[in-house]
Amino acid sequence: MATSQAGLALVAWSSIYLGYQYQRQLQESQFERLKLNSVIKEAQLQALRHQVNPHFLFNSLNTIRALVDENRDEAREAITKLSELFRASLQTAEQKVIPLREELRTVEAYLALQKLRFEERLVVAMQIDELSLDTLVPPFLVQTLVENALKHGDHSKDNRRMVKCEIQTRERTVRIRVTNTGVLRPSINGNGTGLANAEERLKILYGSEGRLRVYPCGPGTVTAEIELPRYWSLS
């Protein structure tokens, strides 16, 4: 009887020990997978971040080139605006997110650069909810939407271009809308590293809480809309 009880006790302790070892190995495996996912996401973010600036530089240099033969003073001013934009780029190079107020300064500098080129032909409307200004967003996120609106939007018969940026806060989310004249393209992937890049960055940083959609919002107008968490921090 004693031998039988000792055997049962041994089996019980062996089961507990094996269960503990299994749980420990499972936790270590899960930790390694999480660590690997984190490394992969960081690499993806770095790659996507590097895609933004060359694309932006290409378009900005085209703007300056268009000004050189027309007005050298404005070309010099455009170079100054471009240097301001790249100063912002250098300052945020190692940051995954920045306050929205900083991002909007970049947008303002970009639009000032474009205004030099299009002058009165460019019509811009900004409606910003001040409660949104501390929201954390990826650098160049809103600027990418505005740049895409100018690049892919249709202009009117008198060559006027319209861009409207609206930012609204809700209880838990912030909604960013950029509207331009034009028609909806078949796929955002056709816009190169613009909206496709923004969508991927949102997915990596916010998961299902960060969304981008593009839709027609009226006759001859298209809206790119981003929704992301109002309160969010890097874990």
CATH of the domain at 60: 3.30.565.10
pTM (predicted TM-score): 0.73
- Is residue 234 in a domain? no
- Is 124 a residue whose pLDDT tops 80? yes
**What distance in Å separates the CA atoms of residue 170 and residue 157, rounded to the nearest whole number?**
38
pLDDT at 128: 96
Instruction: Work out how many domains the chain is built from and give that number.
Output: 1
- Is residue 190 in a domain? yes
- Is residue 70 in a domain? yes
Residues 6 or more apart whose Cβ sits within 8 Å of residue 141: 103, 176, 198, 201, 202, 226
- Is residue 222 in a domain? yes
Q: Which domain holds residue 116?
A: 2-229
- Is 6 a residue whose pLDDT tops 60? no
- Is 40 a residue whose pLDDT tops 70? no
- Is residue 107 in a domain? yes
Q: How confident is the model at residue 57 (pLDDT cuts 50, 70, 90)?
A: confident
- Is residue 82 in a domain? yes
The secondary element (H helix, E strand) that includes residue 90 is: helix 72-91
Q: How confident is the model at residue 189 (pLDDT cuts 50, 70, 90)?
A: very low
In Å, how far are 16, 18, 24, 75, 113 from 13, measured between CA atoms?
A: 5, 8, 16, 81, 74
pLDDT at 227: 96
- Is residue 235 in a domain? no
- Is residue 62 in a domain? yes
- Is 190 a residue whose pLDDT tops 60? no
pLDDT at 164: 94
- Asked whether 102 and 141 are in contact (CB, 8 A), the reply is no
- Asked whether 224 and 178 are in contact (CB, 8 A), the reply is yes
Name the one residue in this structure whose structure tokens are 């270590």.
28
